[in-house]
Amino acid sequence: MADAASARALDRREQWLADYGFGLRVHESGTVVSIGDGVAWLSGLPSAALDDIVSIEDGGDALIYHLEPDRIGVILLDADSRLRAGARATLSGRQLQIGVGDALLGRVVDPLGRPLDGGEAPRTAAMRALDDVSPPLIHRAFVQRPLYSGNKIVDTLIPIGRGQRQLIIGDNGTGKSALALDTVLRQQGEAVRCVYVLIGQKRSDAASTIAALRDHGALSYSSVVVADANALPGMKYLAPFAGCAIAEAWMAAGCDTLVVYDDLSTHAKAYRELSLLLRRPPGREAYPGDIFYLHARLLERATALSAEQGGGSMTALPLVETEQGEIADYIPTNLISITDGQIFLDQRLFAQGQLPAIDVTRSVSRIGGKAQHPDIRDQAGRIKLDYLQFLELEVFTRFGAKLEAGVEERIRRGRALRQALKQPRFEPWPAAAQMAWLVAYNEGLLERIAPGDMTAAMQQLLDHCRHEQAAVGDPPDRWRERVHRWLEKGHGAVA
């Protein structure tokens, strides 16, 4: 091994001597003027351009972020304690890139691709720019294949297609990350490669997410990009672009990918912090004027490619936090307008124990219905209307008014549906089981089950579908026989 390394070094020296030529060479050199809070100001370097990499003496690399006539604002990419004012800075001639490829499966890395899991550096076969243009329209295809989340509400009432951008929105602590994590777990065996981006999370929360992926076997087809709460603001800013570049490389290779941005509220705050530190003009709520463009250029890279381009897809699940359920705030409204729909999690439903706390009335999927399996779409066609009508009718029961028999029947069906929609964490449902409970509801079988026994009955229905090896495309009559046989065998307590 030592002889081989010496031979390679000798070859490099000989190649350098062969390429060497006498002539005048001009090198630019700059100086660090000031440092603080993850940014630095440099003087000199007249040829510097935005997004170039600057090498600082004894201080690692920095990204050029802001240009002024007499100085340059840079984002520090390394927290090196040796960095001091007066240090020499030079242009590296490089753009910011990250290693991509299958070597990142099962790995935890930072936004520059450096390992955080204690292993050696991933031996990636290619590099890809973090910030790249989105695929042109002629390279895109329609979203027409489903991406199952494993959640009964989402897969039936708010479906997601491969290549879609679906926003998950709600207050802190309502289960946004849990829903995104369950969606990643559901992709096991689906040939979907996942990238989970953790932005500004506490280290304990990041470790908990990684442990959940590992414990449920999801880390084998996933890659995790982490910029935790202690990271430099520049790393938090770059984290979603790094995750997007990793998923984009797989998409370009013809694979289906899923990328989760957890969360873009923290990302927007990091961008605002950098912009204010480098004295960019503030706008609404002190965010810079290009905050909409920042997230648009990130999320527009998620798409389904045409067959001529390999047929790959990238599905994006950005998360955004609201305060007191106010979806009309600046960042949430920006993301709602960029994405193809939103899943809204409500604090009131969470407090009532309706988990997952998805508010069907304020959730929508604008294009996912076209990707939904036809049989599931047919069975779920009237459920959302039934549920919305039930929520309106249930209000009258609070006044103790006497209701007509037909109204009482609809309320009873609605309450059974609400109980059936509850689902614990880490238990994503396969598509066949989704079909089973839809048929059971439409056949009126769920109303025969006592509300307190609904959770156990739904688990037994899930086991029943697995035992019979049910498939979504089975004939409707066979599905009816299957769910009636499930109830006749004593699954669930009859009310």
Catalytic residue annotation: 366
- Give the separation between CA 300 and CA 394, rounded to whole angstroms: 41
Return left, alpha or beta for 148; rule: phi > 0 is left, psi -120 to 50 is alpha, else beta. Answer: beta
Contact 94, 129 (CB under 8 A): no
Contact 222, 196 (CB under 8 A): yes
SS3 of residue 306 by DSSP: coil
- Give the separation between CA 128 and CA 298, rounded to whole angstroms: 15
- Give the separation between CA 245 and CA 393, rounded to whole angstroms: 48
DSSP 416-478: HHHHHT---TT-PPPHHHHHHHHHHHHTT-GGGB-GGGHHHHHHHHHHHHHHHT--TTS-HHH
CB burial of residue 284 (10 Å; 0-12, 13-18, 19+) = exposed
Kind of pairing, strands 222-227 and 108-109?
parallel
